[in-house]
Chain A
Amino acid sequence: MLLIHCPYCKDDRPELEFSNAGEAHIVRPTNMSDISDTEFEAMFFMRDNPKGIALERWRHAHGCGRFFNVARNTVSDKFLKVYKAGEPRPSDAEIEELLK
């Protein structure tokens, strides 16, 4: 069982309190009705599923209830960074750094 740091509770909490909520930084377009089928496909269906750093959303469902983002190494299952919803996506350079 993982220990996950919640950026809102500012504490490490057992995995049982959390639920995964899929890939992070997929922004719902504000002009949703106008996007093309290809854009919709990319937004709704296509996911990266990388080996290495995955940027994911988690929810502290049985805790503070907040959604937040994490950078998780899918190989080691380590949470390398947690950050609040709305904070910017880590840069590629930062991701490189996290992988070390």
Chain B
Amino acid sequence: MVEATPTKRIAPAEGFRVANSVVSIETAKPASRISLRATSAGARSFEKSLNFALPRKPAETASAKGRHALWLGPDEWLLIDEANPDDSMVPRLPNKQFSAVDVSHRNMAFIVAGPGAAATLNAACPRNLSLAAFPVKTCSRTVLGKAEIVLYRTARDTFRVECWRSYAPYVRDLLAIASKDAHI
């Protein structure tokens, strides 16, 4: 017996937004995500379902049509599909050379944008976020205070901050308080 009405999806920190003159922080729209672990042969095999090449160098990303592949480790990628939030990218057939695990609901993301974006993040993230050290289209797993995040610079002044869902209130409140200091 299937429910007559579709089961309601409630994402963490839905609709959150704060902004001031130098930075805005808002919850990203739901997306589907895969944690991909693979041998190099597995990565090649997975790419066929993806239609673009996975980045092979540390911190690199690749994108096409709302899909993003982020290099997180030598055999690890985070795939984010903003275009199809309800459709898992997990290939239907099992493969012996990779592990593709649906983590769409494990993660959520905030978009931190504006000239004060890096300063906001640097309130609690120890990384050098200058354009030279952390260029556009690069990514990294790192820390924001006591939360682990994946930081993805999508544009000069825009970062996508991925975290696990239960850390969302902490990350949200930390970024919000940090934004007060972002003009400095």
Size of the chain B interface, CB-CB below 8 angstroms: 13
- A65 contacts B142, C-beta separation under 8 Å: no
Determine if A63 is an interface residue (Cβ-Cβ < 8 Å).
yes
- A8 contacts B143, C-beta separation under 8 Å: no
- B interface SS class: strand
- B59 contacts A11, C-beta separation under 8 Å: yes
Beta-carbon contacts under 8 Å, B117-143 to A: 126-127, 140-143
Interface residue stretch chosen among B1-9, B48-56, B72-80, B107-115: B72-80
- A9 contacts B127, C-beta separation under 8 Å: no
- B143 contacts A66, C-beta separation under 8 Å: no
- A interface SS class: loop
Q: Which residues of A contact B141 (CB under 8 A)?
A: 17, 62-65
- A64 contacts B72, C-beta separation under 8 Å: yes
> Among the listed B73, B74, B126, B142, which residue makes an inter-chain contact with A1, where contact means beta carbons less than 8 Å apart?
B126
Q: Total contacts A to B, CB within 8 angstroms?
A: 40
Q: Which residues of B contact A65 (CB under 8 A)?
A: 72-73, 76, 141
Beta-carbon contacts under 8 Å, A45-65 to B: 62-65
Q: Which residues of B contact A29 (CB under 8 A)?
A: none
- B73 contacts A66, C-beta separation under 8 Å: yes
> Among the listed A8, A10, A62, which residue makes an inter-chain contact with B142, where contact means beta carbons less than 8 Å apart?
A62
Chain A 1-32, CB-CB to B under 8 Å as 1, else 0, gives 10000001111011011000000000000000
- A8 contacts B126, C-beta separation under 8 Å: no
- A63 contacts B126, C-beta separation under 8 Å: no
CB nearest to B71 among chain A residues: A64
CA distance A13 to B148 in the complex (A): 14
**Which A-B residue pairs are the 7 nearest by beta carbons?**
A64-B73, A14-B126, A9-B58, A65-B73, A62-B143, A62-B148, A8-B74
Chain A interface residues (CB < 8 Å from chain B): 1, 8-11, 13-14, 16-17, 62-66
